[in-house]
């Protein structure tokens, strides 16, 4: 299963509560780009889920539809958790006014360095605005967003990525329950003033899921679980047997293709990060559209590799609408495209957890009555 990060397909009923009324990432992207050119996704049925400029409804789509979360939130951690049946009852903490003194003191104690910024900030702008001071003083750039994240940025000439990871790991472990953010994110960067660039060496230190997931159900049934990109990090490694790096889409796509070629059995859970991190948050319409073209070309290759016993699921975790008045994630439905024998071109709309339920049933023939979600596949074992 592959998560096209931030590729939402329409505002959820409560989107206005998040400042996201009327958002629709893929529809607005298609309109801004003058149409999307994604023939494989078109053939699978992306244009049958919703109206998209440049993407026609499919004559014979695979199983297709829209998925919604059962709990609050609009970020990667809650989206991925819900895909695997983990639903939180209350929102993870956010910090619209910056972090309180006890959190900043923890960062200082863990690093031996001062802190600058400490507020909600676009990541690129945080580095642009505070990078020079960071180089002069060594103080860490600490910032957040609308999501439940504590991000720590450091220039690689000031702090090696391994040292930044150590600091983030210590902060993650030291945060009290009331400040248990979803993710502590290490953000290494390079360059000089007015030309800083974030590197591909980002790393997420996530809160462990608060409940059992379909990943663990698969493990218990003897199914090896492979996570590509940040997918495994979002579960703090819980329920994951093998973590494969995928800092860029090219890396994650290549790794996923190789696993598809070589594995006889198992679950491959891939996150494609750049539609979110590199293009969505920057409202880069051309880059976002180009990334989808590259993903589409790889999907074409995957379809040629699929065997009758394989199940391919394409979905998302949230939106990041390029026309929104902010640069944060947007509270949206996720698309669902599922290619497997017996799909009958059905439409299926339901909760994100239906993905995890379907993966478990397809790979093991089992259901997990204690977890949310209903399988959209009928095959067992």
CATH of the domain at 114: 3.30.70.1250
Judgement on whether residues 219 and 141 belong to the same structural domain of the protein: no
pLDDT at 175: 97
H or E element that contains 185: strand 183-190
pLDDT at 168: 98
Judgement on whether residues 156 and 125 belong to the same structural domain of the protein: yes
Question: How many domains does the chain contain in total?
Answer: 2
Whether 84 is in a domain gets the answer: yes
Give the residue carrying structure tokens 């020079």: 132
Judgement on whether residues 128 and 235 belong to the same structural domain of the protein: no
pTM above 0.85, yes or no: yes
Last residue of a domain, one of 151, 175, 206: 206
Last residue of a domain, one of 174, 206, 238: 206
Whether 377 is in a domain gets the answer: no
Residue 265 has pLDDT above 50, yes or no: yes
* pLDDT digit string, tens, across residues 359-369: 999 999 999 99
* pLDDT digit string, tens, across residues 15-54: 999 999 999 999 999 999 999 999 999 999 999 999 999 9
Judgement on whether residues 273 and 298 belong to the same structural domain of the protein: yes
Q: Span 115-138, mean pLDDT?
A: 94
pLDDT at 380: 52
* pLDDT digit string, tens, across residues 164-196: 999 999 999 999 999 999 999 999 999 998 899
Judgement on whether residues 75 and 142 belong to the same structural domain of the protein: no
* pLDDT digit string, tens, across residues 110-121: 999 999 999 999
Task: Compute the mean pLDDT over every residue in the chain, rounded to the nearest whole number.
Answer: 96
Whether 371 is in a domain gets the answer: no
* pLDDT digit string, tens, across residues 285-299: 999 999 999 999 999
Judgement on whether residues 153 and 141 belong to the same structural domain of the protein: yes
Judgement on whether residues 58 and 110 belong to the same structural domain of the protein: no
Q: Provide the residue range defining the domain that includes 159.
A: 101-206
CB 297 within 8 A of CB 40: yes
Phi, psi of 39, deg, nearest 5: -60, -35
Judgement on whether residues 226 and 290 belong to the same structural domain of the protein: yes
* pLDDT digit string, tens, across residues 230-253: 999 999 999 999 999 999 999 999
d(CA 160, CA 246): 20
pLDDT at 146: 87
Phi, psi of 277, deg, nearest 5: -65, -45
Last residue of a domain, one of 186, 206, 226: 206
d(CA 254, CA 259): 9
Q: Which two tokens stand for residue 51?
A: 């109206």
């Amino acid at each position: 299963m592959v998560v096209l990060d931030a590729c939402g397909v329409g505002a959820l009923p409560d989107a206005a509560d998040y400042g996201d009324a009327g958002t629709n990432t893929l529809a607005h992207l298609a309109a801004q780009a003058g149409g999307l050119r994604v023939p494989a996704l078109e053939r699978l049925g992306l244009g049958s889920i919703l109206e998209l400029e440049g993407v026609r409804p499919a004559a014979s789509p695979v199983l297709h539809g829209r998925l919604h979360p059962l709990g609050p939130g609009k970020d990667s951690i809650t989206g991925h958790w819900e895909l695997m049946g983990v639903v939180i009852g209350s929102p993870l903490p956010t910090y619209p006014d910056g972090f309180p003194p006890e959190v900043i003191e923890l960062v200082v104690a863990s690093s031996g360095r001062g802190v600058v910024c400490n507020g909600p900030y676009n990541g690129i702008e945080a580095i642009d605005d505070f990078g020079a001071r960071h180089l002069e003083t060594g103080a860490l750039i600490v910032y957040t967003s609308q999501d439940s994240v504590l991000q720590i940025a450091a220039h690689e000439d000031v702090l090696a990525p391994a040292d930044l990871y150590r600091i983030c790991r210590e902060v993650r472990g030291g945060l009290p329950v009331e400040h248990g953010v979803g993710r502590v994110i290490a953000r290494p960067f390079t360059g000089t003033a007015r030309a800083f660039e974030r590197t591909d060496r980002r790393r997420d230190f996530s809160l462990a899921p608060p409940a059992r997931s379909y990943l663990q159900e698969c493990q218990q049934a003897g199914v090896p679980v492979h996570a590509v990109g940040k997918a495994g990090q979002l579960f703090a490694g819980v329920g994951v047997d093998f973590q494969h790096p995928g800092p860029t889409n090219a890396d994650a796509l290549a790794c996923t293709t190789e696993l598809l070629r070589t594995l006889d059995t198992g679950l491959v859970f891939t996150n494609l990060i750049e539609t979110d991190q590199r293009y969505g948050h920057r409202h880069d319409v051309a880059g976002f559209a180009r990334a989808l073209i590259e993903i589409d070309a790889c999907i074409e290759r995957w379809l040629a590799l699929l065997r009758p016993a394989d199940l391919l699921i394409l979905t998302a975790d949230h939106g990041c609408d390029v026309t929104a008045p902010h640069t944060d994630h947007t509270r949206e439905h996720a698309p669902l495209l599922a290619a497997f024998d017996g799909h009958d071109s059905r439409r299926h709309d339901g909760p994100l957890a239906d993905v995890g339920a379907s993966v478990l049933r397809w790979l093991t023939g089992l259901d997990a009555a204690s977890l949310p979600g209903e399988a959209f596949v009928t095959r067992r074992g």
